[in-house]
Amino acid sequence: MAELDVWWEVLVGSFDVLLDDEHAQLDAFVEEYRSAVEVVFDGLSEEQSRRRLVLSATTLLGLVKHLTWMQRVWFEECVGGISRRELGLVQSPEESFRLAGDDTVASVMAGHRDACVRARMAVADLPLDTVVTGHRTGPRTLRWVYLQVLRELAHHCGHADILREQLLAAD
């Protein structure tokens, strides 16, 4: 029931921005999904967070690691103009799900929080119509980047919910 309370508070909080400008609305929706990621490991063990429950190599911990990578690609590479290599990021989305032996819930969440801080700083003073040129497939507007990140966060938060349900049901 506590999970429903968290989701309800996030949903109600979203109503505060209904009349704000578009940038504030996009920030609020992105933050809503970032908050959902924050609670995904509540009550789960390290073993559960690494457990594979689907045919792909996806794990709950790997999913959050991917979300971290994704946000760094869009905000630090695309908006900030720093290459993946310079950022120390793996090159492909598939690689971003892979866990290292020393990855823990605490370390992956710390990485995710850091990526969120960097993302906020990268876009803080930029209008949505700003054309960003750091992505290897070409320029796009900041608005497009926000929509892409929002799409990915929503998509993968749904996956995380399902994986969490499976983990809780299995134990």
Residue showing tokens 């119509």: 129
CB contact at 8 A, 14 and 28: yes
Each residue of 63-111: pLDDT tens digit? 999 999 999 999 999 999 999 999 999 999 999 999 999 999 999 999 9
Q: CB-hemisphere CA count at 13 Å for 121?
A: 9
Q: Please, how many CA atoms are within 13 Å of residue 162, restricted to the half-sphere of its CB?
A: 12
Residue showing tokens 């993946």: 84
Give percent of the chain above pLDDT 90: 81
pTM across the whole model: 0.87
Least confident of 12-21, 105-114, 125-134, 140-149: 12-21
Q: Which residue is it, tokens 């506590």?
A: 2
* Structure token digits, residue 105: 């819930």
